[in-house]
């Protein structure tokens, strides 16, 4: 569906774009599954969380059933920890710094339980 959307944005007729993308899919030249796999892998590599990745996939016409196999075995805590380690040099020194990092992870699409686990206890 992403390909059809891009063709429509370039001014091509919607029906023609969908028909052509359908023909490409039948020939095995276009696959939402392959697109989803590459997209998820790329976004995980950028340190993005499950919620943000799913929202971006939904915006591109990919449903949860297509995305689930590629997101099921991901350790989101490890992805979040990697994003924190890449962005910040040291452990948070105080509550304000901990909250700043929590907001950073939340903005990247990590749920609160993953954020709390990745950051550990709030400093006093």
Question: What would the pLDDT profile of 46-70 be if each residue is shown by its tens digit?
Answer: 999 999 999 999 999 899 999 999 9
pLDDT at residue 31 in the model: 86
Q: Name the pTM for this structure.
A: 0.83
Whether the CB-CB separation of 109 and 79 falls below 8 Å is answered with no
Q: Residue 23 and residue 43: Cα distance in Å, rounded?
A: 28
Tokens matching residue 112: 């609160």
> What contacts 24+ positions apart, CB below 8 Å, involve 17-21?
none
């Amino acid at each position: 569906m992403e390909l059809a959307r891009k063709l429509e944005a370039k001014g091509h007729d919607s029906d023609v774009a969908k028909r052509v993308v359908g023909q490409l899919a039948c020939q095995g030249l276009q696959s939402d599954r392959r697109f989803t796999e590459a997209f998820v892998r790329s976004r995980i590599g950028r340190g993005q969380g499950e919620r943000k990745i799913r929202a971006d996939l939904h915006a591109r016409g990919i449903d949860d059933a297509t995305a689930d196999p590629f997101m099921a075995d991901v350790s989101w805590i490890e992805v979040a920890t990697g994003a924190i380690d890449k962005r910040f040099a040291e452990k948070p020194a105080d509550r304000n710094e901990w909250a700043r990092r929590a907001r950073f992870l939340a903005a990247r699409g990590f749920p609160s339980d993953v954020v709390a686990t990745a950051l550990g206890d709030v400093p006093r």
